[in-house]
Structure 1
């Protein structure tokens, strides 16, 4: 009898594991939306747009502190934590994402932030053109900064990719961290004879720093990437790749 019960238990466990493996992992979007209401509204719109594709259940963690842990604990079944920000483009969100703890979840993993993706860099190049950038104008890629070397390297990779797209050098500068500042980078280009300088904002969402960029004496400043359908496409692609790793 004991042997029979053990076999039944093993079968039940196996069936449960198969059922869990067949589940589409919940996509938990993580970003700091506590800075202002406009940013939070943009994040909620992004989450709604992702959910409307009906590819996966969507949960959000847009507030720092205990809300992040509560969200993780509330999700049953497999989970993929997806940064809803750009690598090196959002210090507050990067700090929040560093608090994501999935060590006790065998059925969960995290993806990296969006970075040097050709479609995203191509969209920034398009925004430069629409904002009035002309061949020969200086270009500054304005990033918020990153707490880690990997994030800074990703911003550098974006600048190189953007430079190839627009056939012009692209100077990396920072809004809130390290040097050079965006203003210093603009001034350096002016000293080298480039009177027209455009700022490519390495931003996924509106932020409190937008006004600071608009106040610069530059030819143009690009708008944040969202809302753009490619943002949703890329986030879902990250989720699909992570879900495949969990199912392997």
Structure 2
């Protein structure tokens, strides 16, 4: 029996660096599981869209598809856009079983990737002292999702025994620059910013710009195509594939 196809579903961006990063991450998943058919798709702003990809898979004979949303929080896109994609695919292909897993989320292993990216940024900036951290994320109007990011920030700061603030690039305060300035008002002078974004684009660029203007000593790159992320994608897929297995009456 052929295993269900896996579709990684990212938000999408007009920035070509974003699509290149998602392509690299999806290729990493492909390399880890060469027995699977793995494709990438985007909710908006990038091509191909999810229905285009699912149409192609169905035309090639696949009758089961597991969609893994590459979203770090469970907000509007996860609760509205992803279910709409699945429903549309089921209407177009009623004989095909299509399922979306839980979002990628913020797995604890991602903090290790965040540290790697931040250490690289600190080396590049030749910054040798650190007395404060900011965790910059996209932000959303969903306060529960923002609160989750704030909890992750506190855990990250506790691990490094440093004060930390969460910051958001859209929809919620504080912005990265405001968070850096708040720490500076508390006497901190060597503040670094970790970018809790999946891929480069307008929002991480804006967060970096504001943080550096406010006096941050370094800002990390987004998480990018890391093995830790690929492993979580495959873990989400595994749960979804099991859910597609019919249960005998």
TM-score range, shorter chain: 0.7 to 0.9
Q: How far is 1:135 from its partner?
A: 7.2
Deviation at 1:136, TM superposition (A): 5.5
Contact 2:22 2:225 in 1 (8 A): no
- Whether 1:79 aligns to 2:65 is yes
Structure 1 residue 153: Cα displacement: 3.5
- 8 Å CA contact 1:94, 1:147 repeated in 2: no
Q: Is the 8 A contact 2:114 2:194 kept in 1?
A: yes
Deviation at 1:239, TM superposition (A): 0.8
List runs of 5+ in structure 1 lacking aligned partners. Answer: 1-21
**Counterpart of 1:246?**
244
Picking from 13, 18, 30, the partner of 1:39 is 18
2:134 is paired with a residue of what secondary structure? strand
Structure-2 residue corresponding to 1:17 = none
- Measured after TM superposition, the shift of residue 245 of structure 1 is 2.3
Whether the aligned pair in 1 keeps the contact of 2:86 and 2:99 (CA below 8 Å) is: no
Q: Give the equivalent residue in structure 1 for 2:228.
A: 230
Q: CA shift at 1:38, angstroms?
A: 1.8
| Partner in structure 1 of residue 98 of structure 2 | 108
Does the 8 Å CA contact 2:135/2:167 hold for their aligned counterparts?
A: yes
The 2-side partners of 1:127 and 1:117 are apart by 16
Aligned CA RMSD, in angstroms, stands at: 3.0
1:174 CA drift (Å)? 0.6
Residue correspondence of structure 1 range 48-87 to structure 2 within 5 A: 48-53=27-32, 54-62=34-42, 64=44, 67-74=49-56, 75=58, 76-87=62-73
1:178 partnered with 2:176? no
Contact 2:29 2:234 in 1 (8 A): yes
State the distance in 2 between where 1:242 and 1:93 align: 15
- Alpha-carbon offset, residue 23 of structure 1: 3.0
> Quick one: distance in 1 between partners of 2:205 and 2:14?
14
Residues 190-243 of structure 1: CA deviation (Å, up to 9, x unaligned):
111111111111111111234333432211111111132212112111111221
TM-score by length of 1: 0.78
> Which has the larger Rg?
1
Equivalenced residues, count = 226
Change beyond 3 A, Cα 1:67–1:126: closer
TM-score w.r.t. the length of structure 2 is 0.77
1:79-98 aligned at under 5 Å gives the runs 79-87=65-73, 97=82
Q: How far apart, CA to CA, are the structure 2 residues paired with 1:246 and 1:36?
A: 35
> Is the Cα–Cα contact under 8 Å of residues 28 and 225 in structure 2 kept in the other structure?
no
Q: Could you tell me whether the CA contact under 8 Å between 2:135 and 2:196 is conserved in 1?
A: yes
